[in-house]
Structure 1
Amino acid sequence: MLCLAVTIGWFLYRAGDDATEVLARNALMDTMNRVGQATDRQLLGARETLRVVAPDPIPPAEKGGQPAYIPFPKERAALEERLWLANSLFDDPSYVYFGGADGSFLGVKQEEMNLFMYSTRDPQGKNYVYHLRGPGTTPVLIATQDYEPRNRPWYRQAIERKQETWSPVFTDFRLKFLGITLSKPVYSPEHVLLGVATSSIGLQRLSDFLQALPLTRNGVAFIIEMSGDLIATSVNEPIHKVDGANFVRLNAGQSTSPIVRQSYADLVAYMKTQKLEPGKLVVQSLQTDGPKTELAFRLHHDTAGLDWVAVSAVSRSDFLGSVTGGVYQTLLLGFIAVCMTFVLGFAILRWVLRDIRKLTLAAKSIGNGEPFPSLNIDRRDEIGQLAQSFQEMERNLRTDRLTNVLNRDSFIAQIDFRRRKGTEVAPLQFALLFIDLDKFKAINDQYGHDEGDKVLISAASQLQHALRKDDSVARFGGDEFVVYLHGVTDENIAKSIAEKIRNFLNQPIEGRDGNQYHVDASIGVALFPQDGLDIETLLRVADERMFEQKRMHRILSYGVNREI
């Protein structure tokens, strides 16, 4: 009985482990999508504020035309108005400024709620920094400094690249946070350089977002530069520190979290052998001696020179809580069963292993295209929940949502699976019926798509009732269906079955407002292997024969109408 308990626990664990891998990877993809959206929103602020200060040319309405340029303000007051407008565009504080080709400078930065820093440079090269409460309020001088914008990295990089350019992530020594700058050269319609418009944004909001993510107990998410320096992390730890007079960035390899360190090490190992493709999500198992952990990473790249890598990892053990509880409960029942009869223990063993075997076979069938077995598991525990999840997954992947019969891909996959199982001793033989509903288009056009959908649903139901257990039916699109007839090798038998199906489809269909719809069907037959050795050839042959029958139906219908 002890072996019985251990066996039950082992099978429960294996079924749970397979399920938790799927759950962990789904959680990873959801987290990575959220991180990508948050990153896009954060960077969008800098890009959109720049477009307020220096709008892009309006594309020509006609091909070959000239783009329309929105004039850049010549007066300081007009430029200042644009800077104020750009600064108020998003809730996140940003520093928006413009360095002119003549050495002028003007910038507006929100320090805190209703407190702004206003910077301007006079022709003598002095830069004056003021505090003020908002546009039109009285400025208070707080600093005077020597400042030449044309010598700054953001100015020179934008001029050299002649396009929008991201700076490296920098550290704000005064406010102690990370930030990044997007610069854009501004030209007149005659392509004369007017200066460089720039927007600097803080990146603290990204860390706040990651730390607020609903991650699992051992899940992590972080964003790094290609060098490995942390930009944001879900781990509650500093990503920079003050070392004397220096402000030092921390690397993911220096994180206090072992999962972050191992995730970064696996990412580095991956990049040594393969190149990261922008936007491609890579999911793999984390190389660790601890609990099984899934890792995902994606390169965030744009033409302005930004290269960030978003990384997330989650432990499968975070999803094993309920399964582990089931294991402990089963072990306890096994020890109690030692004092009970062997018959009771054997009955429990069969009851549990039967459902676990069903789940195992179902998990394999989804992966290799086998026909999905009927689970018939009516339980309210973790196994019942897994069974329900497998059934929903199979239905979404394999069936046509309208008619609830197989879809095209699932139908072809099941035939390929049967062909792989065929042997020389017991070769696979079957027939394909390609079915087209002759009068469907007229009903759909006259009574609308809702009534047309009723016809398709009814036709699919009639087809399912007309077939044997080993046969199957799929919707190939529109009003076309394909039927697989297992073991049918004789053309006459296949045609008789086709005629039977046609009679089923000829039954009236109840519609809206008391209407009754009558459809007919044209059916083409193809036999394997007589008519083709691959599914594509068989479908083409059956389709051609279906069209021949449809043509014959039209000729006969035309002849009957002429006699009338």
Structure 2
Amino acid sequence: MSKFRISSISIRYAIPGLLALVIIVAIGLTAWLSYRSGLSSAETLALRLTQEVSSRINDRINSFLELPHIFHEINVAVLDSGGANLGDFEGMRKLFWGEVSVTKSVPYLYYATSEGYFLGIDTSFGGEPVFKILDEASAPNRLTYSMTAGGEPLEELKSSEYEPRERPWYKAAVAAGKPTWSPIYVFSAFPVLGISPVRPVYDRFGNLEGVLGIDLTLSEISDFLGSLEISPNGEAFIVQRDGKLVAASTGEQPFTEADGAQQPLDAAESQNLLVRLTVKHMLERYNGDFKNIAEGEDIEFKEDGETYYARIDIISDERGLDWINVVVVPSRDFLGPVLANLRYTALFGAIVLVLATVLGFLLSSWIIRPIFTVTDVAAKIEDSVWDLEPLHVVVERTDELGQLARVFEKMANEIHARETELKRQVVELKIQIDQKKLKTQVNEIVESDFFQGLQEKAKNMRDAARRKK
């Protein structure tokens, strides 16, 4: 089997083929380098975005959670200065009303005394403030009143049995003995999950007088996370160390319904696929326990052929708060420009390839046409037809092909001249040969016995004739 050789390819196809090959290699290499650079840029952008969003979440959550404690500090200062006391329900109502009237960041201010009495002003549900009180006269029931625009109790709306000292927020404050956070629990007035920053209040002898509290619903945090512009398919969520979901940008509620009550939802059981995948890989990374997360870091994981980037940060304070903030984005959200650039490169490459192929065929025709002319003239010369007229067009060219044609023309003229001279010499030689042959034949005849006898007879006849005369 003969080996393939480049010299066996026609110039008509070799030139377009080589041009197309060069362009394909160049465009392919450019596209590959562009794609690799785009991947690197996408990864950098994804990491930067997750870090920035996570930082915003940390700042906002820290501010959101710090403000209630500031109100506690203010109220403790008022109590310590004698401006109010927990036994003065009228004075405490006015103090709380003034505070909930100036900000929506503390929607529900309340306190409970060590005797089991309770007072609070709640604006967290429905927007209309209500006044709640459990005193010696109403015990063991807590009464709920509507309020006037000036903060005065107006109409009794509800009466229900209530023991504040059995509530998770009260127990957390007493157990800590200092400002702290309650566990996430179900609120009593409305069956929703929330958390309460609380602070115990002591008299000058160190005896517990009561506990100050503010309710914060987890939905407020979820609403904030949902308002963030992350990426088209990115999500942010917050989990506790035990893996329970605190809040998420997904729009789902971070709890499950069981027997009419809400229970915290395991993040691994989230309705959102991205949250579940992220939690799965986090558990694999941290040996199945979020308590092993000691500091913030960036992680990358793959699932079903797609890369995901996540930023993990810790939200904590000196009061016992210890949450994990996670921002995760899929790589496809950042590969859009890269893939679009590849499509544009491919389209541009296809156009250039077509143009180059057409140009290659035109170029090959431009080169081959004079070569064919020289070839045709050479074929005619081979058949002894000396017609160099078609060659004149090529001879007039100033490029290499014109130079080749001129050399060929000169060579053809020289060959023609030599052939003409050779023919003339052949004719002359033939004539000489014929004359020599004729002379030889004449000599042979003259010298033959027959011719000698004839000459002798002729001589005798001439002599006889002269004698007769």
Shorter-chain TM band? 0.5 to 0.7
Q: What residue in structure 1 maps to residue 49 of structure 2? A: 27
CA distance in 1 between partners of 2:207 and 2:188 (Å): 35
Secondary structure at the residue paired with 1:333? Answer: helix
Change (3 A) 1:178 1:194: same
Q: Is the 8 A contact 1:262 1:287 kept in 2?
A: no
CA distance in 1 between partners of 2:270 and 2:305 (Å): 18
Structure 2 residue 314 is the aligned partner of structure 1 residue 288: no
1:162 deviation in Å?
Answer: 0.8
Q: How big is each residue's C-alpha offset from its partner over 1:271-326, in whole Å with a ceiling of 9 and x where there is no partner?
A: 3288323xx43112124233222111111112222111110011232222222112
Q: How big is each residue's C-alpha offset from its partner over 1:82-129, in whole Å with a ceiling of 9 and x where there is no partner?
A: 222333342145222221123322222114334323222226732331
Change (3 A) 1:236 1:132: closer
Amino acid at match of 1:120: L
1:24 deviation in Å?
Answer: 0.8
1:336 to 351, 360, 364: 351
1:244 deviation in Å?
Answer: 4.2
Q: Is the 8 A contact 2:146 2:157 kept in 1?
A: no
CA distance in 1 between partners of 2:253 and 2:177 (Å): 36
1:344 deviation in Å?
Answer: 9.2
Q: What residue in structure 2 maps to residue 266 of structure 1? A: 281
Structure 2 residue 58 is the aligned partner of structure 1 residue 36: yes
1:176 deviation in Å?
Answer: 4.7
Q: What residue in structure 1 maps to residue 232 of structure 2? A: 217
Comparing both chains, which one has the higher relative contact order based on Cα–Cα distances under 8 Å and sequence gaps of 6 or more? 2
CA distance in 2 between partners of 1:281 and 1:259 (Å): 20
1:327 deviation in Å?
Answer: 0.9
CA distance in 2 between partners of 1:186 and 1:239 (Å): 32
TM-score (norm 2): 0.64
1:216 deviation in Å?
Answer: 1.0
Amino acid at match of 2:39: D
Q: How does 1:184-333 map to 2 (within 5 A)?
A: 184-272=199-287, 275-277=292-294, 280-333=295-348
Amino acid at match of 2:268: G
Change (3 A) 1:169 1:45: same
1:106 to 107, 119, 122: 119
Amino acid at match of 1:16: G
Q: What residue in structure 2 maps to residue 473 of structure 1? A: none
Secondary structure at the residue paired with 2:276? Answer: helix
CA distance in 2 between partners of 1:246 and 1:194 (Å): 31
Q: What residue in structure 1 maps to residue 158 of structure 2? A: 143
Q: Is the 8 A contact 1:38 1:206 kept in 2?
A: no
Q: What residue in structure 2 maps to residue 500 of structure 1? A: none
Structure 2 residue 146 is the aligned partner of structure 1 residue 132: yes
Amino acid at match of 2:91: A
CA distance in 1 between partners of 2:272 and 2:115 (Å): 50
Q: What residue in structure 2 maps to residue 80 of structure 1? A: 93
Amino acid at match of 1:271: Y
1:70 to 81, 95, 106: 81
Q: Is the 8 A contact 1:170 1:179 kept in 2?
A: yes
Amino acid at match of 2:118: F
Amino acid at match of 1:169: I
CA distance in 2 between partners of 1:264 and 1:85 (Å): 43
Q: Is the 8 A contact 1:115 1:133 kept in 2?
A: yes
Secondary structure at the residue paired with 1:237? Answer: coil
2:39 to 17, 31, 38: 17
Q: How big is each residue's C-alpha offset from its partner over 1:240-266, in whole Å with a ceiling of 9 and x where there is no partner?
A: 343442323322212233221121122
Secondary structure at the residue paired with 1:338? Answer: helix
Change (3 A) 1:103 1:178: closer
Amino acid at match of 1:121: D
CA distance in 2 between partners of 1:132 and 1:292 (Å): 54
CA distance in 1 between partners of 2:256 and 2:243 (Å): 16
Q: What residue in structure 1 maps to residue 136 of structure 2? A: 122
Identity, in percent, stands at 25
Q: How big is each residue's C-alpha offset from its partner over 1:433-483, in whole Å with a ceiling of 9 and x where there is no partner?
A: xxxxxxxxxxxxxxxxxxxxxxxxxxxxxxxxxxxxxxxxxxxxxxxxxxx
Secondary structure at the residue paired with 1:24? Answer: helix
Amino acid at match of 1:119: I
Change (3 A) 1:259 1:78: same
1:16 deviation in Å?
Answer: 0.5
CA distance in 1 between partners of 2:141 and 2:68 (Å): 24
CA distance in 2 between partners of 1:174 and 1:296 (Å): 36
Amino acid at match of 1:316: S
Q: How does 1:541-552 map to 2 (within 5 A)?
A: none
Change (3 A) 1:136 1:34: closer
Q: Which segments of 5 or more consecutive residues in structure 2 lack a partner in the other structure?
A: 1-20, 361-469
Q: Is the 8 A contact 1:93 1:109 kept in 2?
A: no
Amino acid at match of 2:38: G
Change (3 A) 1:305 1:341: same
Q: Is the 8 A contact 2:173 2:182 kept in 1?
A: no
Q: Which segments of 5 or more consecutive residues in structure 1 lack a partner in the other structure?
A: 58-68, 346-564
- Larger gyration radius, structure 1 or structure 2: 2
CA distance in 2 between partners of 1:342 and 1:8 (Å): 19
Give the paired residue count.
332
Q: How does 1:321-400 map to 2 (within 5 A)?
A: 321-341=336-356
CA distance in 2 between partners of 1:17 and 1:178 (Å): 42
Change (3 A) 1:120 1:151: same
CA distance in 2 between partners of 1:203 and 1:138 (Å): 28
Secondary structure at the residue paired with 2:215? Answer: strand
Tell which deviates more after alignment, 267-276 or 293-302: 267-276
Q: Is the 8 A contact 2:121 2:129 kept in 1?
A: no
Compute the RMSD of aligned alpha carbons. Answer: 2.7
Change (3 A) 1:89 1:50: farther
1:217 deviation in Å?
Answer: 1.2
Q: Is the 8 A contact 2:196 2:214 kept in 1?
A: yes
TM-score (norm 1): 0.54
